[in-house]
Structure 1
Amino acid sequence: MATKILISRRSIQLLRILVSCIFLVAGFNHLLNIEKTAQRIEQANFKGIALFFGEPEWLIILSGIVMLVAGFLFLIGYRTKWAAIVLMAVLIPITLTIQVGQITTLGPLFKNIAIFGGLLFFVLNDTSNLLK
């Protein structure tokens, strides 16, 4: 038997809005700073993960566009579960390429893990009736 848990509608909306902001900012950053982002990939310990998928510049442009589109859909609550899945799919290779292997700066790694957890909340819970 499932236990019913009451969660404030506003808290779910606020979580969705705040989580989406990181992707909107990152998406714009990717598109406005392609060369700087490519340098970060080149300096990463696990740059081979990114290089496996293709040329860094194209990956940066593609991930920037995906983060903007899915981030906006997530922000407005349209197809939230699917937008969250797409954002998770973008977040995983970025996290593995850039943050993993940088033992001196674990903050960004755990920031991405926390963001992943926020996205996972929307994948695992049907919030569609709360978003309207």
Structure 2
Amino acid sequence: MIRTIETYITPSQKLQDWAEPVFRVLTSLIFIIGGLGHFGEHQMMLDRMVESPWWNMINMVGNPSWLLWLSGGVFVIFGVMLALGWMTRLSALLIFLTLIPITITVHIAPGHVGPLFKNIAILGSLFLIYCRGPGKYALDNRKISEG
């Protein structure tokens, strides 16, 4: 019976072809929108960083305001590139590497279990995109003419 249900709900090949670009675009949206928040909600995000138990470590790494601008820039620029499937692996890797210290310094704190595991799930998504590449309908797949 389970096999019958599984066979019945298996998506068509056409739908499967769209799975990777949809996954890539939907994953990128959190970085594009969130990265814009690093600029538009800059002070509020700085205030949230101050509340982190890791505030001293953040200050040791660099100026928190500059770190926020830098991470916002990475998220927006490489989020758009990820959505387009252009330099997909590089984009996923840079966003992944930017998200790790943010997750550690901001979300490993009391009362942040939901955001912590959201970021862990997103890190898994970025890892999958990095390993699998852009999939169909990506700029990385365009033919480059020689000459």
* CA distance in structure 2 between the aligned counterparts of 1:36 and 1:23, rounded to whole angstroms: 17
2:31 corresponds to: 23
Q: Decide which moves more: 78-87 or 6-15.
A: 6-15
Which structure 1 segments of 5+ residues have no match? 1-5
**Equivalent AA in structure 2 for residue 66 of structure 1:** V
Paired residues, what number?
126
Say whether residues 1:85 and 2:60 are aligned partners.
no
* Residues 36 and 76, structure 2, Cα contact 8 Å, conserved in 1: yes
Give the structure 2 partner of residue 121 of structure 1: 128
Which of structures 1 and 2 has the bigger CA Rg?
2
In structure 2, the gaps of 5 or more residues are 1-12, 142-147
Q: Which residue in 1 is equivalent to 2:18? A: 10
The runs of 4+ residues in structure 1 deviating greater than 3 Å are 126-130
TM-score normalised by L of structure 1: 0.87
Alpha-carbon distance in 2 for matches of 1:51, 1:93: 13
1:94 aligns with 2:94: no
- Whole-Å Cα distance in 1 between the matches of residues 134 and 74 of structure 2? 22
**In 1, Cα distance between the equivalents of 2:23 and 2:80?**
14
SS of 2:109 mapped into structure 1: coil
- 1:109 alignment partner in structure 2: 116
| 3-state DSSP of counterpart to 1:61 | helix
Q: How high is the sequence identity, in percent, across the aligned residues? A: 29
The 1:120–1:80 alpha-carbon spacing in structure 2 relative to 1, beyond 3 Å, is: same
TM-score, normalised with respect to structure 2: 0.79
Per-residue CA deviations over 1:18-71 (Å, capped at 9, x if unaligned) read: 110000011110011111111111101122332222111111111111111010
Confirm whether residue 65 of structure 1 aligns to residue 73 of structure 2.
yes
